[in-house]
Amino acid sequence: MNHHNRIKLAFQQLVNLNLEQWAEFERHLEEVTFQKNEFLCQAGQVEQYLYFIHAGAVRVYHQTNQQEFTLNFHFADEFVSAFSSFLTQTPSRVYLQALENVQASRIHRQYLYQSYEKHHQAERIGRLFAETLFIHKTNREIDLLSLSAEEQYLKLLQKNPQMVNTISVKHLASYLGIQPESLSRIRHKISRNS
């Protein structure tokens, strides 16, 4: 399946675009690649793009006083952006970094918003996408507040084994809100009990 068909499939899970709407949208897609450790967006920049990842992994993190806080990871067939900056057109507070080589398509914010004005279906995609992000963020916050680090790790392992096997212990521990040593102990305990 080519890259654009994968994006079309992702959109069609939300709404049914007709051929004309899809063709217009597809004309505005740009293929991009990022090398490992390269930034898609850095804190302080105003995000202008919505990305759809075809291959690779992207980490979203915030940094203060030389400490990094991993907020999320995104993989193939997922959308990623510095969403707050993208929506408000204010400087981003997060970094989007390629954890491995990334192939992606991106669309400029200006076209996306023009599309919202022109096509009801495009606006609906934007709304449903925002709702999905909100639900994911709420569930993540509840997990951080109510689950132990071990419970979070087990849930993550069940939900996304790719993440657990691909991401470094340092970044994964940051995502779970613990030190790398604590994550190593949790992994050891789980492997011992398996």
71: alpha, beta or left, given left = phi > 0 and alpha = psi -120 to 50? alpha
- From 188, 144, 193, select the one nearest 169 (Cα to Cα): 188
Could you tell me the pTM of the whole model? 0.89
The secondary structure of 39-57 as a DSSP string is EEE-TTSPP-EEEEEEES-
Distance CA 55, CA 52 (A): 9
* Residues pairing with 33 in the sheet: 103
- Per-residue pLDDT for the chain (194 aa), expressed as one digit of tens each? 577 888 888 877 877 878 888 888 888 899 999 999 999 999 999 999 999 999 999 999 999 988 999 999 998 888 999 999 999 999 999 999 999 999 999 999 999 899 888 888 888 888 888 888 899 899 999 999 999 999 999 988 888 787 788 889 999 999 999 999 999 999 999 888 87
51 phi and psi, to 5 degrees?
-105, 145
Domains in the chain, CATH or no CATH each: 3-119 (2.60.120.10)
